[in-house]
Amino acid sequence: MNKDWYKWITASITQHFNTALSSYTMSVSGEPPLSSEESEWIWLNVLEQNAVERNKDYWEIKVQIVMLATVTIANDLYALEKILGAISSAFSTCIEVKEYGDGDAVLGSLMRTNDEIIKTDLGKPTAQDDLKQGTISGIYEIQLNV
C-alpha cells in the first residue's frame, strides 16, 4: 500500500466539494471551527477509509464521506432542506483522485458504491437555538495497484 493514498484521497475529496459547493462556507475536519457569525455553513468529514488487499498489490479502499450542514432558520423555514439539496447534488457518481501536492497526476476515481445518498435531519441542537442541522453521507470505493 502506498503511504500517500489516504492523503491524496482526502485532498481530492476536499477539492471536489470545495469546488462543487463554492458558494457556501465550508470547513474540513481538523480545521479551526467556523465563526458563529455565519448564517449557514458546512463541515466535511472523511469519516472512514478502509483498505483491503484483494490480491497481491491490488487494493480496494472504501471511504465514507459525511457532510454536516448548519443553518439559521429565523428567516427561512426550509433553509436546511435547500443546503442539504445542494450538498446532495455534489455527491456525484465519481470523484477524481489526484496526487495533490506530489505532482497532481490522476490516481483514479472514487466511485459511489450504490445509489444511496443518505440525508439525516438532526433538528435543533437546543430548544433555544435558531439553528438547525442535518447531514448528507455516501460511501465511495476506489481500486488501486501499488
Query: Tens digits of per-residue pLDDT, 51-108?
Result: 999 999 899 999 999 999 999 887 788 999 999 999 999 999 999 999 988 877 899 9
Q: Which pLDDT belongs to residue 76?
A: 83
Burial 97-111 (b: 16+ CB within 10 A, else e): bbbbeeeeeebbebe
Grade residue 46 by pLDDT with cuts at 50, 70 and 90: very high
Residue 126 has pLDDT above 80, yes or no: no
For the domain spanning 5-31+38-145, the CATH number is 3.30.2000.30
- In the chain the beta strands, taken as DSSP E runs, fall at 25-28, 40-55, 58-72, 94-98, 106-112, 118-123, 131-145
pTM: 0.89
